[in-house]
Structure 1
Amino acid sequence: MKYIFYPGCSQEGSALEYRVSTLAVLEALGAEVEELEDWTCCGASAAAVRSDLLGVVLPVRNLALAEQVADGRDVLTVCSACYTNFRRSMEAATDPDRLRLINEALEVEGVTYHGTVTARHILDVLANDFGPEVIKDHVKKPLEGLTVAPYYGCQTVRPYSPFDDDQRPTSMVGILEALGATVYHHNREASCCGTSVVMTKPEVGLRMAASVLEACEGADCIATVCPMCQMNLDAYQDKVSRILGHRVRIPVLFLPQLMGLAFGLPESVLMFDRLITPVRLEL
């Protein structure tokens, strides 16, 4: 399996452990991954607020660069916000008039977008290109006795994602079971964690985060595939504890970190020490 890797901004800083563990896991699975040269920010949620065209052109610029070197490879992203932006822009560019405007804006960069590459989320790749059986074959240290609550968040599976059910996703289940973990199902698996409003309306955002953490309290840890969700659920557990009236302490890990643990990869690529809530997993 070969991919063009689009890291996204968070992988360079706040979610460095996501990047490092993902690349290590993909290498262990035998994937060939090449980072997209000269990639830039996709605009996240901020660009579209200023300009709808800018909100589309920023991600498309990266897709246009990927088209030049793709040779049949898909664009792989690990950030759910980046993934949503890419998929939204791909859909927008199917309209000939929008595509013309997009390419006019891209002229300053000297690139043209043709719509010939596909952006995919790491969860899609892990679940469907490799699958539970292949993943299980690479397990050296089964996560037996570990109860994991899957948390997809709102942007991984909707509104543009084609690889899972947008209300009742299941793509993480087979992977976690292949690792030997027990899956802890809950009613907030695909709900929003409140990241988008926690800075502007903190009382709303924190209550949204509290609803997710409260639903997962029966698990040993949470597995997520979104850097914004991970940061929000990990960073605000003290404030959530005050909202709920009791102490909340549950590690929030990226799925590839758990995979790396089960694969027997070293701590240097798992980077548990970068998480705010201490990780003490008894296996």
Structure 2
Amino acid sequence: MENSRTYTYYPGCSLQATAHAYDESMQAVNKQLGLTFNEIDDWNCCGATEYFSVDALPAYSLVARNLSLAVQSNGSQDLVAPCSACFLNLRKTNDYMSKYKDLNSQVNQALAAGGLSYEAGALNVRHLLDVVIEDVGLEQIKTKVTKPLSGIKVAPYYGCLIVRPETGYNTEYPTHLDELMVTLGADVVDFPMKTHCCGGHMTQISEETAYELIRRLLQNASDYGADAIVTLCPMCQLNLDAYQNEVNRMFGTNFHIPVLFFTQLMGIAFGLSENALGLGSEIIPAGPALAKIGTVDEQKTRERPKRRDKKALPMPSMDSGGNE
């Protein structure tokens, strides 16, 4: 049996909510790979992608608090973040505090108000995919495959966040996720837009702009014959999955492409149960695509109820008298 590996773990907000399937499938796969993730106590939100544009110093301080707590946990110096936005913020803060002395001083002054401090560079911030590829390795992963993903065509979608730090990725055309899918037995299609932005939180600001960005990605995957899109970013998964029907309504398209986390496909290839991998929580049902593998029953993956039209949502009463 392989030696177990232990890491300090920062889950981030998404894996506790909309991306719970990512967390569930990751934990299930970790057991198969001998990985132990020790969650940081009392961690806080990383600020997502917007806070740094609002007020930089509080944003860096917010992230640095997590770094400080990670060091205090006396765990591994490798801090793992499965969420690409969390990974970018943690990595950026760690690197910038090392590079810019004034920022380091100001952030530590803010941390001191809470009885904390952080020595820049004390941790090695890593994405989950890096751990899987670099520490476990494709050869070891291949030995765990009991049900190859033969018969399904997948488009590996990295998104724009994971390739921003200098982590050894080809920023224009990374291949780590592609290689992992091939190892699992999947048919990997070319996906030229694999690092294009999904729009992030633009869905809350300009639907027209956001839906066009999502449409382009879905169209690109469809043009290359993908049965499913596989990703490593909660925001990317949410946008392409949750807003796919909205895109169809706006543009008159007919996309039905399930968007899954790479850990879910790893779990399927390892022979793990659908429930353990959070399958069925996606908006666009994965059953038809996964049925092509021959290991997943299309009828078992439940379909989500259709969301009501926005115009049908009840509006609150604006009675000036304050009465219902």
Query: TM-score with structure 2 length normalisation?
Result: 0.84
Counterpart code for 1:7? P
Number of aligned positions between the proteins:
282
Q: Which residue of 1 aligns with 2:280?
A: 273
SS of aligned partner of 1:222:
strand
Q: Larger Rg: 1 or 2?
A: 2
Q: Distance in 1 between matches of 2:114 and 2:30?
A: 32
Say if 2:185 is the partner of 1:180: yes
For residue 227 of structure 1, what is the aligned residue in structure 2? 234
Q: Which residue of 2 aligns with 1:171?
A: 176
Are positions 1:145 and 2:163 aligned together? no
1:157-199 deviation digits (Å, cap 9, x = unpaired): 11x1413111111110111011100101111100001123121
CA contact (8 A) 1:7 1:35 kept: yes
Matched residue, 2:128: 122
Confirm or deny that 1:239 pairs with 2:246: yes
Q: 1:65 aligns with which of 35, 53, 69?
A: 69
Distance (whole Å) between structure 2 residues aligned to residue 227 and residue 14 of structure 1? 8
Gaps of 5+ in 2: 294-324
The code of the aligned residue for 1:263 comes to F
Preserved CA contact (<8 Å) 1:209 1:232: yes
**CA distance in 1: counterparts of 2:131 and 2:74, whole angstroms:** 16
Hey, what's the Cα distance between the residues in 2 that align with 1:70 and 1:82? 21
- Alignment gaps of 5+ in structure 1: none
For the Cα contact (< 8 Å) 1:131–1:175, is it kept in 2?
Answer: no
Q: Among 214, 226, 231, which residue is 1:209 paired with?
A: 214
TM-score, length-normalised on structure 1?
Answer: 0.96
Correspondence list, 1:36-115, <5 A: 36-94=40-98, 95-115=100-120
SS at match of 2:202: coil
2: CA distance between counterparts of 1:70 and 1:196?
35
- Structure 1 CA distance, aligned partners of 2:74 and 2:220? 41
Report the RMSD for the aligned CA atoms in angstroms.
1.3
38-47 vs 229-238, which deviates more?
38-47
Deviation of 1:71 after TM superposition, in Å, equals 4.5
Structure 1 residue 72: Cα displacement: 4.1
- The 1-side partners of 2:36 and 2:123 are apart by 17
